[in-house]
A and B are shown apart, each in its own frame.
Chain A
Amino acid sequence: DQQVKQNSPSLSVQEGRISILNCDYTNSMFDYFLWYKKYPAEGPTFLISISSIKDKNEDGRFTVFLNKSAKHLSLHIVPSQPGDSAVYFCAASARLDMRFGAGTRLTVKP
């Protein structure tokens, strides 16, 4: 039962353009959402998070948007840089439970 879904396994964008990664969830009990970046053979690195009481959180080039009615969140990276190339996981949390999406591989071309 996939409670968190990232329907795009991969995304390719040009350097300097915007990258938009999407995530959908099904469990309405989730109240905290996070994005992680992961390189091969390494643990995930936290990027940005958002509480369910907000609809937007911005940190530098990264902005996360939350649409609770649609159970949808997205990560915007602008401008995209080649160093942003990695796999991005969205995660949703409810108390002690946390579920991850399948990940989206972002490739930023110079």
Chain B
Amino acid sequence: GAVVSQHPSWVICKSGTSVKIECRSLDFQATTMFWYRQFPKQSLMLMATSNEGSKATYEQGVEKDKFLINHASLTLSTLTVTSAHPEDSSFYICSARGGGGERETGTGELFFGEGSRLTVL
């Protein structure tokens, strides 16, 4: 099946630094990518939706200047946490969807990365 690779899988950084997380679709072209954040014992929270070549659409309450999303190609989207603080520590997950109309096949529309654990000291 389709593979989405997320890197790094875990990162520790100092407060005030910026961290970049990459999300790559390895064997398909992802026209749309999603970024989620998961808090402990809570659901996946959609942060933003990005379409290749255009600006990301951020969910209400998500700071676009804090969480920079770039979807420069059909196989790569990046999330940059700028000036990270301890409260930004979380598990970040990306997902990707191809351009085909596979919604009716029952095979699943989104493919998820492995997630990235960010710890800000």
- A residues lining the B interface (CB < 8 Å): 32, 34, 36, 41-46, 48-51, 57, 59, 89, 93, 96-103
Q: In this assembly, does B46 line the interface, its C-beta being within 8 Å of a C-beta of chain A?
A: yes
Question: Which 5 A-B pairs have CB atoms at the shortest separation, nearest pair first?
Answer: A46-B108, A43-B112, A102-B43, A100-B44, A43-B115
A89 touching B109, Cβ below 8 Å: no
Q: In this assembly, does B114 line the interface, its C-beta being within 8 Å of a C-beta of chain A?
A: yes
Question: Which interface class (under 10, 10 to 19, 20 to 34, 35 or more) fits B?
Answer: 20 to 34
Instruction: Show 14 A/B contacts (Cβ-Cβ < 8 Å), sorted by A.
Output: A41-B117, A43-B6, A43-B112, A43-B113, A43-B114, A45-B112, A46-B108, A49-B109, A51-B106, A89-B43, A93-B109, A96-B32, A98-B110, A103-B42
- B residues lining the A interface (CB < 8 Å): 4, 6, 32, 34, 36, 42-46, 49, 91, 93, 95, 103-104, 106-115, 117
Q: A34's contact among B6, B104, B108, B113, by CB below 8 Å, is which?
A: B108
A51 touching B104, Cβ below 8 Å: yes
Q: B44's contact among A44, A50, A93, A96, by CB below 8 Å, is which?
A: A44
Smallest CB gap from B112: residue in A? A43
Given contact pairs A34-B109, A43-B114, A51 touches B43 in the complex (Cβ within 8 A): no
- Report Cα–Cα, A57/B36, bound state, in Å: 27
What residues on B are CB-neighbors of A34 within 8 Å?
A: 108-110
- Report Cα–Cα, A99/B34, bound state, in Å: 11
B109 touching A32, Cβ below 8 Å: yes
- Report Cα–Cα, A87/B98, bound state, in Å: 26
- Report Cα–Cα, A42/B115, bound state, in Å: 6
Given contact pairs A98-B34, A103-B43, A41 touches B106 in the complex (Cβ within 8 A): no
A32 touching B103, Cβ below 8 Å: yes
- Report Cα–Cα, A93/B36, bound state, in Å: 15
What residues on B are CB-neighbors of A43 within 8 Å?
A: 4, 6, 93, 95, 112-115
Smallest CB gap from B9: residue in A? A41
What residues on A are CB-neighbors of B32 within 8 Å?
A: 96
